[in-house]
Structure 1
Amino acid sequence: MMSNLYTKIASIVVLLFGILLIFIGTDGFTAFTAETARVNKLLEEKPQFPDVTFEDSKEREYSIEEFKENHVLITFFYSSCTTVCIDLEMNMSELYDKIPKEYIGDKIDFLSISFDPERDDPATLDVYKNMFSSDGETWRMARIRDQKQLNNLLEEFGVIVIPDDYGNFAHNSAFYLVDGNGVLQEVMDYKDVDAAAERIIEILEVGEGQS
């Protein structure tokens, strides 16, 4: 009899402990995947875009300040990718077309950043951008040649990049929106272009009303 009671108590303790672990690991049940928890953490911390030097498809070098006080919508990719990066940049192109033309280059710019700087030199980036109708100005594709700077940016923005033995990378993907001060404002699902466009337009319209 006592043995059964102890067994029940032990089972309840184990159950409660498991619930506690899930609660902690999912930010109080608000995040049920590691990716959701990562995004929630980014949106809470709102990291500042670090000091890096870009080199784009036209061999120009500059920092994030190049975009003045505009918002910048960012993706991370590598041109040798044959899977998710293609979908990511195709959706970036679709999103670009959904933003009102008067905002493009005036209130928002687009920037695709390669995390494979050795292979994604300016010539490669120039060919790659043409695949998605990037104009190289209001939507630029660039690399960060300094590996330490690149690693710092990836870490700050929670971008996971894991190389394999065949020159490929496993990585997560999203739309990242930073404001005119380089502060991360939104991390959006790259698969839901309509929702991303609606949110970006909302932010830009609010900013316009405050100017």
Structure 2
Amino acid sequence: MPLRLLPFLLVVFVTLSCEQKDTLPILSKAENADGQTVYKAIPDFTFINQDSQLVTPATFEGKAYIADFFFTSCPTICPIMSQNMLGLYEAYADEPRLAFLSHTIDPARDTVAMLKHYATNLGVEDQRWHFVTGPKDSLYAIADDYFNVVVEDPTLPDGFDHSGRFVLIDPRGYIRSYCNGTQPNEVEAFKKDIENLLHEMENPDTAH
């Protein structure tokens, strides 16, 4: 092969590699404005994390993050979700552009100290994963924006009913992907969407 062709082939290879990345759709709530689809970002919020620090959208400036809803005394799906989220947290240990946000749905019992204990037991020791609490109304209202179902149900043994979704949010506050956080196969497939979003963040011209 003539050496003069190598630069050309390298450009073709890089181009094809980039084209293999899928552009994720925006899955956020939307409304029609003058014939245009306008997507709604996750609304402003202020919660407090396991280290007594305020967590707001500014906490995730320039970052993507994965959100879920749980409570520390949950005996059913939450332990499974936490372990699967921990797997993602560990898989992206060297990726500063990806953060994690877990909201309690039981703020009466999940104090800052309880959330700290829970995070420590999982092995979370840095500021990439925030376990947050706040006013119950605020927590339950924002769950709907993340397409998570959260309700109190006294007929259930643990008193709550909630979905186990992991939701991927881009730096603009838009939902780009989600999966069932209790299903390891779905969480594994979810990684591809995370990779695609991180690639998009490197190449903003590919964004919606």
Normalised TM-score (structure 2): 0.72
Matches within 5 A, 1:91-102: 91-99=84-92, 101=94
SS of structure 1 residue aligned to 2:108: coil
SS of structure 2 residue aligned to 1:134: coil
**Corresponding residue number in structure 2 for 1:199:** 193
**Corresponding residue number in structure 2 for 1:176:** 167
Letter aligned with residue 161 of structure 1: V
Mapped partners of 1:69, 1:176: distance in 2: 17
Letter aligned with residue 67 of structure 2: I
Structure 1: which 5+ runs fail to align? 1-40
Mapped partners of 2:57, 2:125: distance in 1: 18
SS of structure 2 residue aligned to 1:182: coil
CA contact (8 A) 1:163 1:170 kept: yes
Mapped partners of 1:125, 1:114: distance in 2: 9
Structure (1 or 2) with the greater helix fraction: 1
CA gap 1:136/1:158 in 2 versus in 1, 3 angstroms: same
**Corresponding residue number in structure 2 for 1:111:** 101
Matches within 5 A, 1:10-159: 43=28, 45=30, 47-99=40-92, 101=94, 103=95, 105=96, 107-143=97-133, 145-159=134-148
CA contact (8 A) 2:50 2:113 kept: yes
CA gap 1:42/1:210 in 2 versus in 1, 3 angstroms: closer
Mapped partners of 2:117, 2:93: distance in 1: 26
Task: Give the superposition deviation at 1:100.
Answer: 6.2
Query: Higher Cα Rg: structure 1 or 2?
Result: 1
Structure 2: which 5+ runs fail to align? 1-25, 31-38
Task: Give the superposition deviation at 1:57.
Answer: 0.5
For structure 1, which segment, 163-172 or 192-201, has the greater mean C-alpha deviation from structure 2 after superposition? Answer: 163-172
Letter aligned with residue 84 of structure 1: I
SS of structure 1 residue aligned to 2:113: helix
Normalised TM-score (structure 1): 0.72
Per-residue CA deviation, residues 92-118 of structure 1 (Å, 9 max, x unaligned), is 0011222361x2x2x111111111111
Mapped partners of 1:127, 1:134: distance in 2: 10
Out of 180, 199, 207, the position equivalent to 1:189 is 180
CA contact (8 A) 2:64 2:98 kept: yes
Per-residue CA deviation, residues 4-50 of structure 1 (Å, 9 max, x unaligned), is xxxxxxxxxxxxxxxxxxxxxxxxxxxxxxxxxxxxx9556454212
Of all paired residues, the percent bearing the same amino acid is 25
CA gap 1:44/1:153 in 2 versus in 1, 3 angstroms: closer
Mapped partners of 1:136, 1:122: distance in 2: 16
Mapped partners of 1:42, 1:203: distance in 2: 13
